[in-house]
Structure 1
Amino acid sequence: MKIAKGLMPFLLFILMSVTFLTGCSHVDKTDVEAVITNELNLLKNLDSDTTQKYVSYKELFPDTTQEIELSKEIKEVFSLFFRDFDYKIRNVDVDNDTKEASVSLQLSTLDARTLAKDYAQASLETAILKAAASDTSATEETTDSLEERYLIIDSLLKKSKYETVTRDCTMTLQNTGTDHDEWEIQRSHSLENDLVGGLISYLSDNNLLSPEETLTIYLNTLKSMNTEQMGNYLGIESLLNTSDSDKNSIASALVEQVHQNFDFKITNCEEQGYAATVSTTITTFDSASILNTFSQEQDAYLSSADAVIDGSEKRYQKSLEMLLNDIKNNTANITSTADFHLTNDGVSWKLDDSNTTIGNAIFGTLSNSPVSEETEDADSSEDDSYAQESED
C-alpha cells in the first residue's frame, strides 16, 4: 500500500506530538510521585518539622485558649502516633491545562477512633478527679491547656498498642513553576485529618462517647475516690468533709463500704435530642439497715443508767463509736433503681446535677449524720434534772 507523499509529513507530525505529550505526562506523574514519596517518607521517619507542616499541633484541639511553647513531650506525641504510619500510591492523575495533579492513596495509621475514645475517657476522668480535689463545689470541666491534653495522649500512646487501620485519601498537588518537577502538595483540613487517621474529626465528635459510656466513666471514677475526694465531689459535708477525727473515722468507714459494695448496671437509655435519661440498678451498702441497728443500740443505751452517769459529752462519744462499729460490721447491701439525666452541650455528654444524684444513689438515708452534737447538748439539761431527782 502506498501512502501519498503529501500525507507522510502530517502523519509523522501527529506521531511525534503524541509521543511528546505521552512523555510529558509520564514525566509529570513520576515527578508527582517523587514529591509525595519524599514528603510521606519524612512522616514515616518521624521528622518533626514535616509533622508540623502537615498537622498543626493546635488543629487537634482548636478550642484551646492557652498558648504554649511546644515541649519535647508534645513533639514526641506525633512521633509515637506516626511510628506505624505507611502509605501506598494507587493512582496519579495529571491535568496539564490546570497544572494540577490528583493522587489517590491508601494510608495506614493507628486506630484513631479508639485512641480518641480512650482520650475522651481519660480526659473526663481527669476532670472529675480535679473537681474532687477541690472543696469549693467545683464541677468537672475539660482543661483549656493544650499541653495537658497532649500529655494525656502521650500517656495513652506510651502504655497502649493500637491496631493499624487503613483509609483512602486524595492529595492535590499544584505545579508552581515552569519546570515539571516543581510540584507542591496543597495543604487542607481534610488532608490533615486523613494523615492522622481521622483523629481530628473523631475528637470533635460530641457523640464520641454515648450517654451510657459517659455515665459509666462517672460511676467507675467515683469508685476509685478516697474519702476526701468523695466528700468534696459529692458535697456530703456532714459525713465526709470534716476535721473531727471521730467523724473522719466514720467517713472512712462509709467510703470503705462503698468500695466493698458499690456496683451498677445500665438497663436502658432514652435520648431526645440533646437530653438523655440512663436507667440503672445501683447496688450499695444498706444504709437503712445500718441506721436501724444503730437506732436500736442507741435507744437501749440511752435508756440505761450508764447513759445518765456518762453525761452528755461521753454519751455523744459513745454514740459515735456505736455508729462507727455498725458501719464497719455491716454486711448487708441493697439494690435499687436510679435514673441519671445527661445533657449534650455540643462538646460531649455531661451528667446533670451529678453530685446530688450520685450521692443519694450511693449513700441513701446516710447522707446526713444520725449523731448530733446539738441534740446531745440539749439533752444534757434533762439528764442533770434526772440526776438531781434521783439524788433527792
Structure 2
Amino acid sequence: MTQPSDVVVVEAVRTPIGRGHPDKGVFRNLHPHDLLGAVYTAVLDRAGVDPLEVGQVLTGCVQQIGEQGANVARNAWLHAGLPVEVPASTVDTQCGASQQAVNLAAALIASGAQDVVIAAGVEHMGHLPFAAGVRVQVEYGDAITPQIMGRHGLIKAHNLVGQGLSAERIATTWGLSRARLEEWALRSHQRADAATRAGAFAREILPVKAGGKVHNTDQGIRPDTTAESLAALPPVFADNGRLTAGTSSQTSDGASAVLLMSAARARALGVRARARVRDHALQGDDPLMMLTAPIPLTRRMLQRNRMVIEDLDIIEINEAFASVVGAWLAELRPDPERVNPRGGAIALGHPLGASGARLITTLLHEMEDLDAELGFLTMCCAGGLATGTLIERI
C-alpha cells in the first residue's frame, strides 16, 4: 500500500480565467466541455503520460445543471476524444470542489486504490451564473434554497443568511473597515497585474482560442484600479455595508487540472515529480458565519504537522471576499508578503468549481519560481466548510 508521503504532483495547468459575462466574457461562445477537455488533454500532454495510465478522473463543479449537468467530468473527457475506459466523476464541495478533488485523488493514491489520478475543475458562469440551480427549481421543486431550508428547520436552527451577509458579519466581527478591505483588493489587482506583465503565469496557463483570438492572460485583472475607484463603489450586500463588488471575487469562466501519481508510478514512467502532497483536510465551522472555516482548518493542519505559520513559505487563500482573508490574517498572523503573492480571486476571478485546482496550479508554479519548499492552500466553502492542502516541493 502506498503511503501518504508518496503522493506526488507531476503536472498542473489551467486556462486563462475569463469574465463570467454572457456578452463580454472571452469564453462566451465556448462550452464547459471545451474548457475542461482542453485542460485534461494538456495536463497529460505536458507530462508525456498516456491517457490509459489514468485510473480515475475527479472534477469539481458547482452548478451541475444544463451544460454542466449529467456528470460533466465524464462528458468532457469523452468530448476531448480521450479513452472511454477511463472513468470520471464530478465532485461538489461548493467553492472548494476542485481542491477537494485534488485531496480525494491524493487519498485514493495514498490508499493504494489508484496510481494515477487527474483532479480537475470547471465552471462557466457566463452560461450558468451563481445560483442558476435555484431557477430550475421553480419547475422541478426546491433544491437547497430558502424554501427547503426553512421547511427542514435549517434556517431557524442556524439563523442562516447568504454568503454576502456572512462576509459582512465577518467584517463586523473582526473589526475590518471598508478601507482595510479595499487595501487588500487593490493589492490583489496590483500583484496580479505585475505577475502578468512579468510573465509569471505563462507556464501554468494553457492558451485557448475563442472568438478568432488566442487568449493567454486573465481577463478580470484591472490594472487601473485605485483606492479612489474602489471607494466610489456602492455596497452590494447591506445598506451602509463594507463590501462592494470591488472587494468580492469576480464571477468567471475557466478550467484547471492537476495530474497526481504515486511516487513509484512516476519513477516507473520516468515522469518528474514536482511536489509531494504532505497533508490535506476538510473542515466544518459555523454555517452562519459560513466562510470562517479556513481559520480552524489552518490551525488543525499546522498542529498535526507540528508546524507554525512561519514554516509555510507561500500561502494561497481564496479571495471569495476580502473580509474572509482579513479575518484569517488577523487570526493566523502570517507574513502578508507570503500570502497570495500573485494576487487572488478579487483580481483573477473565481470560476467556482475550477478555483481549487487553479490555486494548486498557481501555488506549484510560485513555489518553483521562488524556490520555496512548503506551500499551503485553503478555501472557504458555502455551508461553513473549508478545504486545505499542504504540498512540499521536491
Common fold by TM > 0.5 = no
TM range (shorter): under 0.3
TM-score computed with the length of structure 2 as normaliser? 0.21
Higher relative contact order (CA 8 A, sep 6+): 2
